[in-house]
């Protein structure tokens, strides 16, 4: 058995006292190194002994500090030969992971048989503790896996309207296909759903930034003003709820930075919205909303990249359509109310982007009967929205514009939710 010996004030490389070296040799123990308490941990890591024998009259503070760093789980068996210890010292050392103790009074002859018995006791206890820890870790792993499996089954049952047996069959089939443990697949399913939800919520921030400007323009232009006030309040509350939810995810790196920028942009936009309605105020609101839009776009892209699943892209694409419908209606109203040239210049690019994304969604393999029907309705409503833009000079055209943008918002809200909860995204 390879043995590291810890002596008082004996640095690594020092020779053992002759009597101790002889006794350990007689006990059949191969000393692989000798060190003091300060270098104990480093030598254990470097030499990887089967056991460490600590020969000190009293446990030193340096020794106790080293043992505390292992938190009761030393990497090898530990035995101690020392002068008599009181009950409190024995209790402390046992809690720190010491496995066996031998009384060794000053000047007493070193007994090879006692050392042999000491290290055997220590090794036996260390192996038993290791086996118990392994058994406990396996039990915890199984319990943890069961928790993830139950959560994943519940998610699939809720999202897809299927029974427990079918949900479990999906998870088991995926685990066999990917050659992974059932718990690993279940955890991945939960994580995929969380990323999809986060992307959806960040995408809502894009839409809400444009919707709030559109509602402010409606109020200034007296277009369905009563409903616009209600929707403005609801939209502001929704922005804050989504920001709070995303903040609770504990994002890191670019995601955390993008979220912080979105929070700052929302504070600025919220202050602008609270000001008295005016043409200058509306221009300020639009400027602040563009900053929130840019921050929300960066946040959504960071979340999609962090999710690491290609299927999440469809959630992002569909969610962006909500923003474009609101952006088009907003810019059209800004043209009507403020004669804004910048807003007028954005109309055609926004239409083109919406058309391209709608065509991509229509051609995407990720589909279902309900998704195809909703996309068909979205195309019809899109034509009404475009018609409202073309009749912008009339009250009827502006009313059509507002209603079509809200209908498109509802349609793409449902579509984004269906994509978010689709089997392909959840099991990606």
- For the chain, 428 residues long, give each residue's pLDDT as a single digit of tens: 788 888 887 665 567 888 888 888 888 888 888 898 888 999 999 999 999 999 888 888 989 999 999 988 999 999 999 999 999 999 999 999 999 999 987 767 778 898 899 999 999 999 999 889 888 888 888 888 889 899 989 988 887 788 999 889 888 888 888 788 888 889 888 888 888 899 999 999 999 999 999 999 999 999 999 999 999 999 999 999 999 999 999 999 999 999 999 999 999 999 999 998 899 999 999 999 999 999 999 999 999 888 777 778 888 999 999 999 999 999 999 999 888 888 999 999 999 999 999 999 999 887 788 899 999 999 999 999 999 999 999 999 999 999 999 999 999 999 998 888 876 677 76
Partnered with residue 88 across adjacent β-strands are none
Whether residue 120 lies inside any domain: the answer is yes
Residue 109 has what DSSP assignment? P
Whether residue 173 lies inside any domain: the answer is no
Whether residue 143 lies inside any domain: the answer is no
Whether residue 47 lies inside any domain: the answer is yes
Whether residue 165 lies inside any domain: the answer is no
The pair of three-digit structure tokens given for residue 269, joined into one six-digit string: 């936009």
Q: How many domains does the chain have?
A: 2
Query: Burial code of 153-187, b = ≥16 C-beta within 10 A, e = fewer?
Result: bebbeebeebeeeebbebbeebbeeeeeebbebbb
Domain boundaries, position 309: 182-426
Q: Among 100, 134, 168, which residue terminates a domain?
A: 134
Q: Among 105, 134, 163, which residue terminates a domain?
A: 134
- Phi, psi (degrees; rounded to nearest 5) at 51: -155, 155
Same domain as 111, residue 204 = no
Same domain as 221, residue 101 = no
363, burial (CB in 10 Å: exposed 0-12, middle 13-18, buried 19+):
exposed
């Amino acid at each position: 058995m390879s043995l590291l010996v810890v002596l008082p004030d004996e640095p690594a490389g020092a020779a053992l006292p002759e009597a101790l070296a002889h006794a350990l040799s007689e006990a059949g123990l191969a000393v692989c190194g000798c060190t003091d308490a300060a270098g104990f941990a480093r030598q254990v890591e470097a030499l990887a002994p089967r056991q460490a024998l600590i020969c000190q009259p009293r446990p030193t503070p340096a020794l106790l500090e080293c043992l505390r760093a292992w938190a009761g789980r030393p990497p090898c068996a530990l035995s101690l030969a020392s002068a008599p210890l009181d009950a409190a010292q024995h209790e402390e050392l046992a809690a720190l992971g010491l496995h066996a103790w031998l009384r060794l009074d000053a000047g007493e002859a070193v007994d090879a048989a006692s050392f042999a018995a000491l290290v055997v006791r220590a090794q036996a206890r260390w192996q038993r503790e290791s086996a118990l820890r392994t058994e406990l870790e396996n039990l915890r792993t199984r319990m943890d896996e069961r928790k993830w499996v139950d959560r994943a089954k519940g998610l699939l049952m809720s999202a897809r309207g299927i029974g427990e047996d079918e949900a479990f069959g999906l998870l088991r089939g995926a685990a066999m296909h990917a050659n992974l443990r059932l718990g690993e697949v279940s955890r991945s399913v939960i994580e995929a759903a969380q990323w999809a939800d986060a992307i959806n919520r960040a995408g809502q921030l894009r839409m809400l930034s444009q919707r709030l400007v559109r509602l402010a323009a409606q109020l200034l232009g007296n277009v369905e003003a009563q409903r616009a006030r209600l929707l403005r309040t609801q939209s502001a509350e929704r922005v804050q709820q989504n920001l709070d939810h995303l903040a609770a995810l504990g994002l890191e790196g670019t995601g955390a930075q993008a979220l912080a920028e979105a929070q700052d942009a929302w504070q600025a936009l919220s202050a602008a919205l609270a000001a008295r309605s005016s043409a200058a105020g509306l221009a300020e609101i639009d400027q602040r909303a563009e900053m929130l839009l840019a921050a929300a776009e960066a946040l959504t892209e960071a979340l999609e990249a962090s999710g690491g699943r290609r299927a999440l892209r469809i959630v992002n694409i569909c969610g962006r359509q909500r923003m474009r419908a609101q952006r088009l209606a907003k810019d059209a109203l800004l043209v009507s109310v403020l004669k804004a040239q910048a807003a007028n210049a954005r109309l055609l690019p926004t239409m083109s982007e919406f058309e391209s994304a709608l065509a991509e969604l229509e051609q995407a393999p990720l589909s279902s009967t309900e998704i195809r029907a909703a996309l068909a309705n979205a195309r019809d409503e899109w034509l009404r929205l475009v018609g409202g833009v073309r009749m912008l000079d009339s009250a009827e055209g502006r009313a059509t514009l507002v209603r079509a943008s809200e209908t498109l918002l509802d349609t793409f809200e449902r579509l984004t939710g269906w994509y978010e909860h689709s089997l392909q995204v959840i099991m990606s």
